[in-house]
């Protein structure tokens, strides 16, 4: 007795799907992979700790970060009352380090976010429109790209004067060209795919095509690149403050603290290194998280 072929309608030619688990969208798959990556989770935990403590600083019962004490200058780490010692003006290091997190992180993340918005918009436009618009935008970017980022940041800051807001502006300008370049490159690649041509062939408006088909495929790689810039931004901001071009004293900021603690290297090197340690930890965590994001997004299919 012949068995009827199961689950098939030969006459109408209809087919069944491959027996797969529940349908998973791309971002869901990315989230799952991130959740399984131990390094990303550890870095995320560390960063959350640092960010949360700097935001909640006033609530933590810390000493006043601005209160100086000439008698208690450069107390070493683990002194009574001062867990991480005091700086060159007698201020509590632990308190200053945590409060400094606010400014340092702000100076690192804000320029990247602004550059992402501006550079991303320019790059996606250049990539999608192509032709002369592309040439115009990209050649302008090339001019800025010709300067090494540190040099550009220093010159801009020097020209505009010191201060937090000028630093933010300078850093934003420094990051716009690389983000624009990456956006343009990814958008050009996606633009060449058949499904974009199919969308054009269906008579849809250009903005609709960009919104529905291009953005979803392009934002991922751009975001990964932008997050990798955060660590650079933190270091650059700290560097500018170290050179006296960024934040002005007595504001606590890690880079500035590295500058003012320079003399302490001969007296108490551990103390002088502490702000550097904070910069290092934060920057590396952002970096590793960005790597983890990139690996998670490299989903096949």
Which residues here bind another protein, judged by CB under 8 A?
1-3, 5-8, 10, 12-20, 23-26, 135, 193-195, 197-205, 208, 212-213, 216-217, 300-301
Neighbouring C-beta atoms of residue 34, cutoff 10 Å: 17
Distance CA 246, CA 171 (A): 11
Q: Identify which of residues 36 and 262 has a Cβ nearer to another protein in the complex.
A: 36
Q: How far is the C-alpha of 237 from the C-alpha of 169, rounded, in Å?
A: 11
* Two tokens, residue 14: 């209809």
Least separation in angstroms between residue 297's CB and another protein is: 12
CB-wise, 96 or 191, nearer to another protein? 191
Please state the closest distance from residue 8 (CB atom) to another protein, in A: 5
Question: Smallest Cα–Cα separation from 192: which of 159, 218, 169, 174?
Answer: 218
Residue 139 Cβ vs another protein, minimum distance, rounded to whole Å: 11
Given the complex with another protein, which of 148 and 193 has the nearer CB atom? 193
Contact 57, 71 (CB under 8 A): no
Supply the minimum distance, in Å, between the C-beta of residue 2 and another protein. Answer: 6
Closer by beta carbon to another protein, 59 or else 201: 201
Angle at 284 between CA 300 and CA 37, to 5 degrees: 35
Sign of the dihedral through C-alpha 227, 231, 237, 239: negative
Distance, in Å, from the CA atom of 287 to the CA atom of 293, rounded to the nearest integer, reads 10
CA distance 111 to 168: 6
Nearer to another protein, 21 or 165 (CB): 21
Compare residues 23 and 165 and give the one whose CB is closer to another protein: 23
Q: How far is the CB of 3 from another protein (least distance, A)?
A: 5
Cβ 124 to another protein shortest distance, Å: 16
In sequence order, what are the residues at sequence separation of 6 or more whose Cβ sits closer than 8 angstroms to the Cβ of residue 117?
none
């Amino acid at each position: 007795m012949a068995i009827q072929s199961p689950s098939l309608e030969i006459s109408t030619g209809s087919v069944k799907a491959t027996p797969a688990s529940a349908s998973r969208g791309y971002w869901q798959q990315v989230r799952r992979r991130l959740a399984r990556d131990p390094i990303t989770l550890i870095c995320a935990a560390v960063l959350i700790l640092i960010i949360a403590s700097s935001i909640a600083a006033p609530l933590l019962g810390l000493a006043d970060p601005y209160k100086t004490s000439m008698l208690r200058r450069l107390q070493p780490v683990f002194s009574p009352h001062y867990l991480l010692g005091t700086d060159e003006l007698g201020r509590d290091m632990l308190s200053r380090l945590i409060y400094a997190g606010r400014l340092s992180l702000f100076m690192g993340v804000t320029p990247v976010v602004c550059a992402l918005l501006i550079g991303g918009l320019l790059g996606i436009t250049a990539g999608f429109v192509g032709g002369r618009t592309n040439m115009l935008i990209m050649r302008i970017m090339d001019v800025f790209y010709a300067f090494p980022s540190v040099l550009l940041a220093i010159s801009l800051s020097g020209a505009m004067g010191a201060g937090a807001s000028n630093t933010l502006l300078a850093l934003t300008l420094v990051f716009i060209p690389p983000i624009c370049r990456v956006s343009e490159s990814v958008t050009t690649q996606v633009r060449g795919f058949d499904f974009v041509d199919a969308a054009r062939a269906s008579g849809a408006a250009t903005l609709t095509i960009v919104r529905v088909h291009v953005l979803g495929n392009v934002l991922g790689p751009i975001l990964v690149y932008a997050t990798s810039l955060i660590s650079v931004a933190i270091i650059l901001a700290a560097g500018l403050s170290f050179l006296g071009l960024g934040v002005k004293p007595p504001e606590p900021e890690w880079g500035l603290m590295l500058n003012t603690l320079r003399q302490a290297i001969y007296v108490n090197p551990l103390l002088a290194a502490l702000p550097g340690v904070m910069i290092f930890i934060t920057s590396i965590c952002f970096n590793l998280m960005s790597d983890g994001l990139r690996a998670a997004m490299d989903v096949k299919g």
